[in-house]
Amino acid sequence: NAGVTQTPKFRVLKTGQSMTLLCAQDMNHEYMYWYRQDPGMGLRLIHYSVGEGTTAKGEVPDGYNVSRLKKQNFLLGLESAAPSQTSVYFCASSYELGGAGEQFFGPGTRLTVL
Amino acid sequence: GDSVTQMEGPVTLSEEAFLTINCTYTATGYPSLFWYVQYPGEGLQLLLKATKADDKGSNKGFEATYRKETTSFHLEKGSVQVSDSAVYFCALSDRYNTDKLIFGTGTRLQVFP
């Protein structure tokens, strides 16, 4: 099992550009999450999904969109990137909603917006 | 709202020293408590967890006890190794509002030979 994978690993964007981050899991988990990690702020939840075709807003959803067209994939989109979105992005999945069970994390995507 | 407070790092120790990383929480419900570890260049992985008061979670020589009276979940290890160098995150999940984990800001541990 590959677990949770993320692509790309690194990306540099210019302000106003768009991009999509892909998360894939092979554990048949229903629940998937996107977090951002910033220095001194821990991890903050951007969006999450409780199953194929569903999405919900987390703590910091503004400027991001998500889609869950297939159970194993969870996409995070930035339509018009801003320097404030420079961060490390982590995807996670779990077999129980939220923290009732263990969340499994991908290796992260380091995004820089110039 | 619910929150987690961790001691600021970095924590710098010599190999075989005793480790304590403090974590306290605020929650209105009955949270489950977690410690996650992030090794350099990797994602987070669950280290241990406790789901009710007085439970002790343990793994890889690390331990933490769920103390409801002091709202704490301090991480301890009796003898750290260089390979324990990482960032440690305390987190909680409210059993009745389990749509997310709430993380602390993380504590970096550096262990020197």
Cβ-in-10-Å burial (0-12, 13-18, 19+) of B14 comes to: exposed
pLDDT tens digits, one per residue of B65-110 = 999 999 999 999 999 999 999 999 999 986 565 567 889 999 999 9
Pairwise CB contact (< 8 Å): A105 & B43: yes
Q: Is B48 on the interface with A (CB under 8 A)?
A: no
Structure tokens belonging to residue A48: 């999450």
pLDDT of B98: 56
pLDDT of A99: 57
Which chain B residue's Cα is nearest to A55?
A: B99
Pairwise CB contact (< 8 Å): B98 & A90: no
pLDDT of B94: 67
Q: Is A103 on the interface with B (CB under 8 A)?
A: yes
pLDDT of B96: 60
Q: Looking at beta carbons, which residues of chain B come within 8 Å of A103?
A: 44, 46, 101
CA separation, residue B65 to residues A71, A85, B33, B68 (Å): 36, 37, 9, 9
Phi, psi (rounded to 5 degrees) for B39: -80, 155
Q: Is A59 on the interface with B (CB under 8 A)?
A: yes
CA separation, residue A5 to residues A33, A46, A63, A107, B43 (Å): 13, 18, 23, 7, 10
Which of B41, B91, B98 is nearest residue A100 as measured by Cβ atoms? Answer: B98
pLDDT of B97: 57
SS (H, E, C) B5-21: EECCCCEEEECCCCEEE
pLDDT at residue B9 is higher than 70 = yes
Q: List residues bridging with B64 in a β-sheet.
A: B57, B75
> Contact, B32 vs A99, CB < 8 A?
yes
At B28, is the pLDDT very low, low, confident or very high (cuts 50, 70, 90)? confident
Cβ-in-10-Å burial (0-12, 13-18, 19+) of B70 comes to: exposed
Q: Quick one: which of B45, B57, B40 has its CA closest to B109?
A: B40
Q: What count of residues does chain A have?
A: 114
Q: What count of residues does chain B have?
A: 113
Percent of chain B with pLDDT over 70: 95
pLDDT along chain A (114 residues), means of 10: 91 96 95 91 90 93 96 96 96 78 90 97
Which of B41, B46, B100 is nearest residue A45 as measured by Cβ atoms? Answer: B100
